[in-house]
Amino acid sequence: MLVIGLTGGIGSGKSTVAGFIKEKGIKVIDADQVAREIVEPGKPALGEINEEFGPNILKEDGTLNRKKLGGIIFSDKDARQRLNKITHPRIRKRMFEKVDEKRKDQGGKGLIVLEVPLLIEVGLYKSVDRVWVVSASETSQIQRLMKRDRISREEAAKRIQSQMPLYEKEKYADAIIDNNQEPKEVREQVHAMIDDLLKKIDNSCK
């Protein structure tokens, strides 16, 4: 089974492309969703966050106060690193457990996709078989972010500029998905890439 790491910049279209991939019956594991799972009440990561960041980091119902934690780590690099140290290894472990479950399900055949916004930054690109980068011009990214998150042009630009530039991420790519076009075209592009890869895998098994 081939593991594809899907990444890109904020608002470049990762989720949109993941949706097109799912239409082909391919399983997509979303790192953001796994990140939420590993801090659910009762999970060890939540206990460690509680110890590290104080009791006020939990809401009354025992769930993580994301807004508060977000506020702490936003401007404090050290705090961000302490949080990442708690969460990143667990996110990684859980994602690959899910890959292994699917591998068994599929008898080792086919494809699986990991949608990971920080695939390159955290070095996870080394643990996948292919890296696909969803790319869009900064103008498109800004316009789409403004609309999706109801934020100003300045705020959208600030969020993009706080990240690793897309052209840097593209250097790690085995394939770049051009998301500057109409969704219909991008959908066709993605479906063709999946068909192509499935055909290649199939041929290499013969």
Tell me which DSSP letter residue 55 carries. Answer: G
Which of 1, 12, 21, 58 binds ligand ADP (CB under 6 A)? It is 12
Report how far apart, in Å, the C-alpha atoms of 141 and of each of 116, 151, 161, 164 are: 18, 12, 11, 14
C-alpha 149/C-alpha 64 separation (Å) is 22
Residues 176-195 that bind ligand ADP (CB under 6 A): 179, 183, 186
CB 98 within 8 A of CB 1: no
CB 180 within 8 A of CB 140: yes
Nearer to ligand ADP, 12 or 194 (CB): 12
The contact pattern for ligand ADP, residues 13-52, with x = CB under 6 A and - = no contact, is xxxx------------------------------------
Is residue 11 part of the contact set for ligand ADP (CB under 6 A)? Answer: yes
111: part of which helix (H) or strand (E)? Answer: strand 111-115
Number of H-type helices and E-type strands within the chain: 9, 5
Q: Shortest distance, CB of residue 118 to ligand ADP, whole angstroms? A: 12
Nearer to ligand ADP, 5 or 8 (CB): 8
Segment interacting with ligand ADP, rule: CB under 6 A, options 5-13, 104-112, 154-162, 191-199: 5-13
The contact pattern for ligand ADP, residues 128-167, with x = CB under 6 A and - = no contact, is ----------------x---x-------------------
Which sign, positive or negative, has the C-alpha torsion 144, 148, 149, 153?
A: positive
Is residue 80 part of the contact set for ligand ADP (CB under 6 A)? Answer: no
Strands 2-8 and 111-115: parallel
Q: Shortest distance, CB of residue 187 to ligand ADP, whole angstroms? A: 9
Q: Which residue is nearest to ligand ADP (CB)?
A: 144
C-alpha 141/C-alpha 13 separation (Å) is 8
Structure tokens that stand for 67 in this block: 């807004």
**Which single residue is written with the structure tokens 């990442």?**
84
Task: Give the count of residues interacting with ligand ADP (CB under 6 A).
Answer: 13
Residues in contact with ligand ADP by the rule CB under 6 A: 8, 10-16, 144, 148, 179, 183, 186
